[in-house]
Chain A
Amino acid sequence: MVRIVIQIPGERSCKEWAIIELQGDLETRHPVPLSSKFIGDLHFTHKDSPVLIIGHHILHGKVLTLEKPLAVLTKSLDHAKHVADDMAGEDPEVLPAADSEVKALYEVQAIIRKKILFKTRPKPIIAHVPKKL
């Protein structure tokens, strides 16, 4: 049996995060760790439509409000304490169940309500236009 408790920690007010969704994967030419690497420039037109330039690709996207918001969860490391608190409030007759029960706590770090979706095929940038011979 598994029971996983999900809660918003602390004051229960949640930060709002965002998603940029791209078709496919981001890859580097050489297999190096991606940490700290530059991805691209995100512009907005005057009509607030997003334009992303990654490497030699231009992507045109749009801002979408998610039909169902997403919660960003992380596993809580001090869940043992939480379980103890949880048990303390219980009716003594309803004691902790079988030892086979796994209990974990996930905390909501943020809520995501909007994303920028780039779903069209990227347009290539041709940097070196061959000069006329």
Chain B
Amino acid sequence: MESPMPARSLSDISCILEFAKLDAADLKPCVQCLYFSEHLENDMFKLIELDEPVLEALQHGNKVEIRGDPSEGAVLVTDSLTYDLKEAETSNSMLLLSQLTFGAELQKVADREIANKQVTSVVHNYYEIRPIKPRLKKLHMLLMNNPYRGPECEGDELDTGKNYTFRELQSCIQASDKELRAGLLKMNACDIKGKWRLLDFEFSGSVIYHIIQLCEERNWLSEGVNMEECCQVLGELFPREVIEHLVQCYSREDDASAETGESRRIYFLSEDKICKHFAELCLRNSGKFNLNDFLRAWQESVPEGMKTSISQLEGMALMDKDSNPPVIWFYNVDELPEEISERFEALFEEKKKWSLDEITPYVKDLTDDKTDVGALLTKFARASLQQGIKMFSSRKTS
């Protein structure tokens, strides 16, 4: 058996310094002699980059998790943030030392001193993290596979897709818990018996129809929906959780009076959300629609007292006012790709040139603190002037 290297002596060190033509007087007297550890374990340690929020989460014992489907690559999540995780390789050797004293921390001593330091591992790769927006497209896709069409349809011949609990979604969606919850809320997913479901458009349409009828009967459009009474009356037709969910979804968010105690909850239906729903009823599945006919039919379809307005259609429908006759068609931002360059590609395929006002609702959700709509357009679109108006088109077409 090979004996371990004999410890280095002061004379060994002085000798090599002399060979190296280094003047010992220029160096601090403390020398750290580096050795490979007896149990050199190069594969035992993984290195991962941290930023302040992740480090803080670790130090507070909060959640830090790596998640993901092997096919999509892994993400790192905290309670509220999502990071892309990438392995980085370097041709440099990184020697890991559990103890090492940097120059400034060396004790001031008069005589030369030797300290032995062990390298526990030599590493050539580490994981980089980069904050990203949560990838929620798949969430929509998974839930769309088996929309909820009412209690009587559960288990019928069309009810073949899988339904997901929150826990199951956590392990297959690349998003933090907070972002996942926000995503479910945004797509109006409903918790039905512990599974997160999207409501079938026709089914929810029929529930909303009944809610509005009841509201008109009881004058709730102006006085507010009495949730308890609403659930009691409609409870014979639909499950309570669906009624509650839809009343909440279609109510004004900013309403401070929405909650007036546990027993008597009052909700005010939002004019914008109800009108948007009726526009979708008109436009979905009907291709290009004569704009003037649509505007008339739409206003007639909404509950009395509600006023339709083109601004309610932002991000849901596109118009061409220059065609003869002017037309409108269903085009929903929620159904477009979430990856930025793919989004722009889809947009320019739908329509060659966009004004700033037109395109904003379709890219607004891609912005973050650092990148606003203007910055996105600078990077992913080409601007040109058309009759004095700035228009945006694809960078790819010549």
Contacts and interface: CB of A to CB of B under 8 A. Distances in A.
A15 B96 CA distance: 13
Nearest to B195: A93
A74 B45 contact: yes
A125 B96 contact: no
A27 B102 CA distance: 25
Contacts of A110: 98
Contact of B37 (A5, A36, A95, A111): A36
Contact of A41 (B32, B92, B104, B129): B32
Interface in B100-114: 100, 102-104, 106
A96 interface: yes
Contact of A44 (B58, B67, B103, B194): B103
A84 interface: no
Contact of B58 (A6, A109, A119): A6
A19 B96 contact: yes
A60 to B, nearest CB: 10
Contact of B92 (A23, A58, A70): A23
Contacts of A120: none
Given A44-B106, A116-B102, A94 B166 contact: yes
Contacts, number: 217
Contacts of A119: 92
A53 B16 contact: yes
A49 B65 CA distance: 38
B38 interface: yes
Contact of A26 (B26, B64, B93): B93
A71 B48 contact: yes
A88 interface: no
Q: Which of A35, A51, A52 has the most chain B CB atoms inside 10 A of its CB?
A: A35
Contacts of B160: none
B38 A6 contact: no
A19 B166 CA distance: 41
A38 B102 contact: no
A49 B64 contact: no
A22 B96 CA distance: 11
A93 B168 CA distance: 12
Contact of B47 (A34, A52, A73): A73
Contacts of B30: 44
Given A72-B45, A110-B98, A125 B168 contact: no
B321 to A, nearest CB: 48
Interface stretch (B68-76, B205-213, B365-373): B68-76
Contact of B97 (A20, A47, A69, A97): A20
A42 B32 contact: yes
B158 interface: no
Nearest to A48: B103
- What are the nearest 9 A-B pairs in CB distance? A48-B103, A44-B103, A18-B100, A4-B66, A39-B34, A1-B171, A42-B32, A20-B95, A97-B168
Interface of B: 2, 4-5, 8, 13, 16-17, 19-22, 26-28, 30-40, 44-51, 55, 58-61, 63-70, 74, 76, 91-100, 102-104, 106, 117, 119, 122, 126, 129, 165-168, 170-172, 194
21 contacts: A6-B58, A12-B61, A14-B59, A18-B99, A23-B91, A32-B2, A33-B40, A37-B36, A42-B33, A46-B27, A53-B17, A53-B20, A56-B19, A58-B22, A70-B47, A73-B48, A94-B165, A94-B167, A97-B170, A116-B102, A125-B19
Given A56-B19, A71-B58, 10 more contacts: A2-B74, A6-B58, A8-B58, A14-B59, A18-B102, A23-B91, A38-B34, A43-B31, A44-B28, A97-B165
